[in-house]
Amino acid sequence: MTQDNSFRFVYAKIPTQSGPREASVTVIGGQIACVDGPGGSHCRDVDIAGAWLLPGAIDGHVHFDDPGFTHREDFASGTRAAAAGGVTTVVDMPCTSIPPVTDGGSFDNKLAEISSKAYVDFKLWGGVRGNDFQDVGADADFGTHRLDELRDRGVRSIKTYLVSGMDTFADLTQEQLLHVLVEANRRGMLVGVHAEDKQRVIQGVREHADDLTDPLAYARSRDADAEAAGVATCVELAARTGASLHVVHLACAKGVNLIREAKACGVPISTETCPHYLAFTEHDLARLGGLLKTAPVVKKNEDRDALWAGIADGTIDMIATDHAPGEYPREKTTGSIWTDYGGVPGVELLLSYVMSAGVSTGRISLSRAVEVLCEAPARIHSLPAKGRLEPGADADLVVFDPESVWTVRAAELHTRQKYTPFEGMEMRGRVCSTYVRGVQVYDAARGIVGVPRGRLVAI
């Protein structure tokens, strides 16, 4: 493959509403110049022999832990994993770095740490914490100037929690979240919410924490009712304010139904789910223990089926990974599900998993897969030049072999932590090469290509 910034992919198959079709795609100056047009005298043809040519996937929910928790992951290892998995843009969360990204200064601090490490392009979530509120009464304020500072730096997505286990990023009350929604909406910013009901989770932990050996005790402590109650709160607040609200990492059938009903009524709400909720259930949690510990927790077969149905019918807008590895094995095999770190790696497997478990099985079409992996996250996270195979878009491209059958091995992944609940799973479809703005960053035969050149996408 070429590193030249002006070239034409030929004998490619690109996604359409009726399935993949043969096409050529010309790249000039880091952008898509034309589809099915002449390459020009200075363009070199790159023959990909009938492989699929896809827009680079966008993972709108990753925790790359930099700065502050780089023993788990850093921006170099996280973005290498992204590149190897055909993810060309990531949107990194504000809560798992020190300091958390909640204002202009913390944004600048993080950007200074990560900008020289990125192998793919990136955008940053900002956040609002309970810690930021000076008053919990009617005149509560978290310092709305913080939103202005973040917006001035290109942030359009704000992360909040209804229940949080982090002292450095405390959850919000419903009244505080309402206030954040109003202020974010005035600035054209999306608010993302971790939607589990705090009181139900607290009560669940009280009832089940004495069981130290059964991983399902953890699952029972934050069950589908706790998650559905959190989603219901989000629906009610989005309807009341008219503000754009995004429910992150949806995991239960009841939540899917609530969001489907809300959308039918015109409520401005969107949502995502994750591959681990589409692949695993509580039976796998019982088998894998801490290796599959997340919050929300994986649930039952019927929840998994409802999530796939929600993807197919448009209720679920996008798929993201919530990539959040713990230090392995120390933090993931403590001997108790209650003390194991909650989070799994995922960014490198996102594209292949959705193509394998979704498209190859007929659960969703290729065009729908591109919507949930590329087009919708670009729209939701304000990335207008990303996620599409159209003239003028960034040439973030993935050459993908849909027939390649391979087995997931954690030791071969590029994340810093060599574990995955997908260990041993057979997948159909694999990334051959990845391009960011027209420059190759990954090749299946050679691995990561070149030096970090990813950059902040600030609109």
The two three-digit tokens of residue 164, written as one number:
């949080």
Q: 0.85 exceeded by the pTM?
A: yes
What is the spatial distance between Cα 369 and Cα 57, in angstroms, rounded to a whole number? Answer: 10
What is the spatial distance between Cα 17 and Cα 87, in angstroms, rounded to a whole number? Answer: 22
**Sequence ranges of the chain with CATH classification 2.30.40.10:** 6-53+393-448
Instruction: Specify the CATH class of 6-53+393-448 in words.
Output: mainly beta
If we measure between CA atoms, which residue out of 111, 195, 192 comes closest to residue 152?
Answer: 111
In Å, what is the CA distance from 66 to each residue of 60, 62, 97, 343?
A: 17, 11, 5, 16
The two three-digit tokens of residue 131, written as one number:
């810690």
Residue 139: predicted pLDDT? 61
CA 161, 319, 86, 416: dihedral to nearest 10 degrees?
40
Residue 2: predicted pLDDT? 41
What is the spatial distance between Cα 288 and Cα 1, in angstroms, rounded to a whole number? Answer: 40
Residue 410 φ then ψ, to 5°: -60, -35
Residue 135: predicted pLDDT? 57
Beta-strand ranges (E) seen in 42-185 are: 44-47, 52-55, 57-62, 87-92, 121-124, 126-127, 157-161
- pLDDT per position in the chain (459 positions), as tens? 344 579 999 999 999 999 999 999 999 999 999 999 886 667 899 999 999 999 999 999 999 999 999 999 999 999 999 999 999 999 999 999 999 999 999 999 999 999 999 999 999 999 999 999 975 555 668 989 999 999 999 999 999 999 999 999 999 999 999 999 999 999 999 999 999 999 999 999 999 999 988 999 999 999 999 999 999 999 999 999 999 999 999 999 999 999 999 999 999 999 999 999 999 999 999 999 999 999 999 999 999 999 999 999 999 999 999 999 999 999 999 999 999 999 999 999 999 999 999 999 999 999 999 999 999 999 999 999 999 999 999 999 999 999 999 999 999 999 999 999 999 999 999 999 999 999 999 999 999 999 999 999 998
Residue 40: predicted pLDDT? 67
Is there a contact between 53 and 24 (Cβ–Cβ < 8 Å)?
no
Residue 37: predicted pLDDT? 81
Measured N-to-C along each axis, helices 253-264 and 224-241 cross at an angle, to the nearest 10 degrees, of 20
Residue 42: predicted pLDDT? 76
**Sequence ranges of the chain with CATH classification 3.20.20.140:** 57-380
Is there a contact between 344 and 424 (Cβ–Cβ < 8 Å)?
no
b/e 187-198 (16+ beta carbons within 10 angstroms → b):
eebbbbbbbbbb
In Å, what is the CA distance from 378 to each residue of 229, 292, 382?
A: 28, 28, 6
Longest dimension (CA), the chain: 72
CATH 3.20.20.140 is held by the domain 57-380: yes
Three-point CA angle 374, 299, 426, nearest 5°: 60
Residue 1: predicted pLDDT? 38
If we measure between CA atoms, which residue out of 370, 322, 372, 327 comes closest to residue 346?
Answer: 322
